[in-house]
Amino acid sequence: MKERRESLIPIPPDWKPEAMARVIEREVEKWWDEGWVFLRADTDKLMESVCLFFERTIVLESDGNGFD
């Protein structure tokens, strides 16, 4: 089973591509360290924020009673 999460990063009015790339990179690294895989990034229609999408696999462990 996959669990999905989103992280919203506001885009400042005077944003610079290099600075925004560093912010996104730091956010992706933080999530990666917690076991999440980056899927994609999308901006909203007004270019006010970037939404990063992540997922990770959830493994349900058996408790040995045969009911999984």
Sheet bearing 2-10, strands edge to edge = 2-10, 49-57, 37-43
CA distance 16 to 8: 18
At 64 the pLDDT is 61
Q: pLDDT tens digits, the chain, 68 residues: what are they?
A: 899 999 999 999 999 999 999 999 999 999 999 999 999 999 999 989 999 999 999 888 766 665 54
At 63 the pLDDT is 66
CB 38 within 8 A of CB 5: no
- Six-digit token string for 67: 């009911």
